[in-house]
Amino acid sequence: MKSSELFNILKENNINCFCGVPDSLLKDFCAYITDNTDTKNHTITANEGNAIALASGHYLATGNPAVVYMQNSGIGNCVNPLLSLTDEEVYKIPLLMFIGWRGEPDKKDEPQHIKQGKVTDKLLEAMGIKYEILPVDFEEAKTIIQKTINYIKEEQVPFAFIVKKGTFEKYSLINKVNSGFSLKREDAIETVIENLNQNDVVIATTGHISREVYETRNRLNQPHKQDFLTVGSMGHASSIALSIALEKQDRNIYCFDGDGAFLMHQGALTVNASKNLNNFKHIVFNNEAHDSVGSQPTANSNANLSQIALNSGYKKVYSVSTKDELEKILPEFLDDNGTTFLEIKVKCGARDDLGRPKEKPQENKKIFMENLNQVDFIYRGAIENLYKILKLEKAKKVLVFTGKNSYNSLKPIIEKQLEKVEYNYYNDFSTNPKEEEIKIAIDKIQKDFDLIISVGGGSVIDFAKSYKWYTKSNKKHIAIPTTCGTGSEATQFAVLYVNGVKTSLDNLSILPNYSIVDSQFVENNPHEIKVSCGLDAFCQAIESYWAVKSTPISREFAKKAMILCRDYLVDYINNPNIENSEKIMKASNFAGKAINISRTTAAHALSYVLTSKYNVTHGIAVARTIKQLLLMNLNISDENIADKRGVDFVKENLSDLLSIFSGNLVEFLNKLFIELNIEKYFKELTSDEIEYLVSKINIDRLKNNPIKLSSVDIKNLYTSNLISE
């Protein structure tokens, strides 16, 4: 039927008020209403319950019923006012609903719509609301519509017409939204995603935004596992994101919202703001329209969304409308503390060939949860969880990577947990794993295992990660560290040497699924291992704090690690006991979580050649340059800065770092190095040796340092005194 025919018969019966949320099956009728009704008598509402209330108010004021239009998914938003306001046992308020029947049985549709389609009539019946399927032919429909209007006026009750796809003839909206914005939403989404870290999480609202996030990941050759793409529950994406952010405070959680969804449940904004989380960021792509259902204006399309967020309690808000503006503010927005809001004003419309996610919602949920949930057990006696994990994962046969000698004293403890499964050991690799050792392992190891366990220091855990990477294995990995410092159980990267050159694997797929951090495993480590691993954790935390890729979350973890190292590291190394072993174990894990976000900087980059060339243990090699690097970084200027956040930001960040040590980190490092007697691990380097070291540095590895480093700077770092005034 023509939309005008239905519109006219309603007007003839003094039904002049229209309100609701646009729907794809009703978009032609809704568009006609928009073009032919003044704003007094037509309201596009924030949500469907809002529309029921407006229709009720109209009846109370005029005695005439109103029309409410919606998609069947909106029935849920209407249940309360339909049962407690309009119902015949309460106020008896007549109104006429037109409900788009998405998911009509035996018709192809998306999963959430199929479910809604199955229960549309049942929901109406449960509420005692009579309904008819609106005939496509107007002459047939005319009699039913007239009879229905008479019925709701006489009985003073709501009534619903269920509208099938194709009921209305095409009608092109004349008064289309023209915001005047030039930035395409998909381009804005790509710009934001390109600036996120690999382990950042995106919760995307339903509709075009979720589809564009999916397409953007494909275009950038990025995985989808860190995205939760909502296919329904419009208006609730930010609440989903908030709850995840509360539980996973080591991950940055970004809500990608639309303006219609943002306005639908504004009460959520005050809840979001009340938590004031550093890892929750809310981004709204505002085109002032319901884009996927006809591009009609959203409720109050001229609303200042940033001001609404600010008034709701968000700590800081931003609003941009061009790509240049977006790129300029993104570094600051991504680094802000507290609940932060970004409005990106974009033009209407989406690509005609915009794809849809290939994965079903439950598949999306599964890979998202597996990516999100690395489960940690960090306490003395945590090893008791190994048996429970194996039972939970229904493992019958496991592959166990261990060190050659370090495992012997732990073997009885571990094997007690393995008594219900079959297990095979593998330890044929060196302290600094090599690529050829991985390839040999691939040939030797039988592939009929259910799960991987690594028990050892960073090298053992890294070997297990590398094995997973090279074999593309999807087997879950339980990491059990036995040294206090590498933090490898908490990171998504692994170090191995390829032709003598240090190489880093860096991918979410190799982050261990479980980590069991039990302090009883580290109390009796040899002195040199405690020194090296402890210094590694300490230097990781320092570097993470000043790193170009640092975030509020990474700096929070780094600070916790530094405080624990400041207070307990020397005692743990020289006089280990239950308390200081547990504290440094936690420091190591915090430092690992910090660098998993920020990565390390120049001190680590300069250490690898010392390890490969002179066999200096890793943590001691890193400590070799950390103090002089601090002094160089403190001399930051406009000429040497590498951090796009600016000189003032870096200076303030370094000041915060120094404050952890009462303003004198250099003095603290001098004292620490003397107490640990680490000078004995170094020899004087000749000028030729220094030239060799400089020649082996990969300059790209230095880009995460806050200042740019020249070859002369690198020489100075290698020749600087370990202990100085």
Give the SS3 label for residue 683.
Answer: coil
What mean pLDDT comes out for the span 464-485? Answer: 95
Confidence grade of residue 191 (pLDDT, cut at 50, 70, 90)? very high
Instruction: Decide if pLDDT at 572 tops 60.
Output: yes
Q: Are 232 and 292 in contact (CB under 8 A)?
A: no
Distance CA 703, CA 718 (A): 18
Distance of CA 402 to the CA centre of its chain: 33
Confidence grade of residue 292 (pLDDT, cut at 50, 70, 90)? low
- Show the domains of the chain with their CATH numbers: 3-163 (3.40.50.970), 185-370 (3.40.50.970), 374-521 (3.40.50.1970), 526-725 (1.20.1090.10)
Exposed/middle/buried for residue 685 (C-beta within 10 Å: 0-12, 13-18, 19+):
middle
Distance of CA 636 to the CA centre of its chain: 32
Which has the higher per-residue pLDDT, 110 or 463?
463
Q: Residues 202-225: pLDDT tens digits?
A: 999 999 999 999 999 999 988 888
Q: Are 692 and 613 in contact (CB under 8 A)?
A: yes
User: What does the pLDDT read at residue 300?
Assistant: 64
Integer angstrom CA distances of residue 146 from 72, 132, 329? 23, 13, 57
User: What does the pLDDT read at residue 294?
Assistant: 65
The identity of residue 707, as a single letter, is I
Other CB atoms within 10 A of residue 681 CB: 18
| Tokens, residue 87 | 């119902």
The mean predicted confidence, pLDDT, of the chain is 93
User: What does the pLDDT read at residue 613?
Assistant: 85
Q: What percent of the chain has pLDDT over 70?
A: 98
Which has the higher per-residue pLDDT, 172 or 284?
284
Which has the higher per-residue pLDDT, 565 or 303?
565
Q: Residues 117-170: pLDDT tens digits?
A: 999 999 999 999 999 999 999 999 999 999 999 999 999 999 999 999 999 999
What mean pLDDT comes out for the span 523-532? Answer: 91
User: What does the pLDDT read at residue 295?
Assistant: 67
What mean pLDDT comes out for the span 31-52? Answer: 94
Instruction: Decide if pLDDT at 725 tops 80.
Output: no
What mean pLDDT comes out for the span 64-88? Answer: 96
User: What does the pLDDT read at residue 301?
Assistant: 65
The identity of residue 607, as a single letter, is S
| Tokens, residue 316 | 């800081």
Confidence grade of residue 722 (pLDDT, cut at 50, 70, 90)? low
What mean pLDDT comes out for the span 605-626? Answer: 89
Other CB atoms within 10 A of residue 664 CB: 11
Q: Residues 368-415: pLDDT tens digits?
A: 887 787 888 999 999 999 999 999 899 999 999 999 888 999 999 999
The identity of residue 206, as a single letter, is T
Give the SS3 label for residue 330.
Answer: helix
Confidence grade of residue 187 (pLDDT, cut at 50, 70, 90)? very high
Q: Which residue has the tokens 């002459």?
A: 139
Confidence grade of residue 721 (pLDDT, cut at 50, 70, 90)? low
